[in-house]
Structure 1
Amino acid sequence: MELNILDWFQTLHTPILDKIMTLITKLGDAGIFWIILTLLFLIIPKMRKTGIIMAAALIMDLLICNVAVKNLAARTRPYEVNTSVQLLVAKLHDYSFPSGHTAASFASVTALYLAGERKLWKPALVLACLIAVSRLYLYVHYPTDVLGGMVFGILAGYVGYQLVKFLEAKISGRKNAGKQVRR
């Protein structure tokens, strides 16, 4: 059934849409768009906490998806099953489940949402969805890979946010304890 869905996406191909989808998917290559956005936020004092939360979310995403789940699932990519498909992007050398592009995107969106960035998380969600669809359009992931990327990305964003809150509380507690000792 999943190959049927991917084959349906193949019927949508046009030269213009091919260019758009390859461009959109490149924004997710190695999480580059989200990493650059995180670094930008870390540089801007007013956005630093958001940058820290996004960095924690992306690190959790890397550990959960790329280090653990991809290697445990070890799922082959759809173009390795249906070899008749002509790819518009280079063949990838890692496993298919979950979609790393999608996971990094949804980890970042979740981090933005939990950080309270009301104006930023909605356009980021649109981009994350476009990146996810591009992975199907380009025949590099199964629909369940993309769905798994969404779930693990949201989980990574949540865990990253909670980690930052935990560390903030620890640091704040130490500062308060230090003030009480000095009195």
Structure 2
Amino acid sequence: MTLSDLFRRNRAFFITYLLLLLTVGGLMLAYTKEQLIRFVNAHNTPVGDALFPYLTYLGDGSFVIVVGVLLLVVNRRAGWLVLVSFAVSGLISLFLKLVVFPERLRPIRYFEHSNWEYHVIKDLRINEYNSFPSGHTTSAFALFAMLAFLWQRKAWGWLAVGLAAVAGYSRVYLFQHFVEDAFVGSMLGTFTSVGLCLFYQKRYGNLPLLY
């Protein structure tokens, strides 16, 4: 299987994801990271404050592992693909955070000497360092991209992008990351799953499908 074959079979996922990349990428070119996070932070709501602390778990490592382990029971090969994609993308994300970009501050530390009165959810634990890239967003896109590639109903690929995007947006809404952190995390997670699928197809044959 080639990349073009994977794209053709998963049009709904890739077209939706490309639209997301173009939209967010365009905003990043038009505005600074400070302007973008100020915009997101200013549009907080009581509903968002109630939901996003839970929706962010769509990209939490424990959630991805639980999904992978459950899939091992249903389809062993599919479960291993999810777990390996999570592990590889997570290790790359950690390497970037701790080795390549260790100086990247999280928003709450970045703005600590600013006069801006930003909004944070009461009693929510806010991290301060190792902002780039977003690990939660990386894991979410690694998971949902892989599930989209394994789903037999390819038309549902847009839903995979939507769920992963919610996890990415939650990281900015919760004041844990800048938009650029989530943007790069989405690419890291998606490209890891793409690469793993291409490797699997070349070595073992057709991908296991989930019904």
TM-score category, normalised to shorter length: 0.7 to 0.9
Distance 1:155 1:22 in 2: 26
- 1:60 alignment counterpart: 88
Q: Where does structure 2 lack aligned partners over 5 or more consecutive residues?
A: 1-31, 206-211
* Structure 1 residue 167 displacement after superposition: 5.4
**Superposed displacement of residue 80, structure 1:** 0.7
TM-score by length of 1: 0.79
CA contact (8 A) 1:103 1:153 kept: yes
Partner amino acid, structure 2, of 1:70: K
Residue 10 of structure 1: aligned partner? 41
Equivalent of 2:118 in 85, 91, 112: 85
Distance 1:140 1:117, change over 3 A: farther
Once the two structures are superposed, what CA deviation does each residue of 1:73-121 show, in whole Å capped at 9, x if it has no partner?
Answer: 1211111111253532312265111111110011112212333443665
Which of 111, 117, 132 aligns to 2:146? It is: 111
Q: Which residue of 2 aligns with 1:173?
A: none
- How much is the aligned-residue C-alpha RMSD, in angstroms? 2.1
- Greater helix proportion: 1
Question: Residue 62 of structure 1: CA displacement?
Answer: 1.5
Amino acid at match of 1:134: S
Task: Output the TM-score relative to the length of structure 2.
Answer: 0.70
- Rounded Cα–Cα distance in structure 1 between residues aligned with 2:82 and 2:202: 15
Cα distance, 1:9 vs. partner?
Answer: 1.3
Distance 1:134 1:116, change over 3 A: same
**Residue aligned with 1:151, SS:** helix
Q: How far apart in 2 are the matches of 1:62 and 1:73?
A: 15
Q: How many residues align?
A: 165
Superimposed CA distance per residue, residues 29-85 of structure 1 (whole angstroms, 9 cap, x where no aligned partner): 3x22222111110011xx22221111111111122111x111211211111111253
Aligned to 2:68: 38
Question: Which stretches in structure 1 are left out of the alignment for 5+ residues?
Answer: 170-183
The AA in structure 1 aligned to 2:36 is I
Is residue 28–residue 101 contact of structure 1 (8 Å, CA) maintained in 2?
yes
Are 2:81 and 2:146, in contact at CA under 8 Å, matched by a contact in 1? yes
The answer to whether the Cα contact below 8 Å between 1:98 and 1:149 also exists between their aligned partners in 2 is: yes
Query: Does the CA-based 8 Å contact 1:57-1:158 persist in structure 2?
Result: no
CA contact (8 A) 1:56 1:164 kept: no
- Is 1:25 the counterpart of 2:56? The answer is yes
Q: Which amino acid is 2:118 matched to? A: V
Indicate conservation of the 8 Å contact 2:82/2:143, yes or no: yes
1: distance between equivalents of 2:77 and 2:129?
32
Find the counterpart in structure 1 of residue 130 from structure 2. 95
2:96 — aligned with what?
Answer: 69
TM-aligned CA distance change 1:23 to 1:116, over 3 Å:
closer
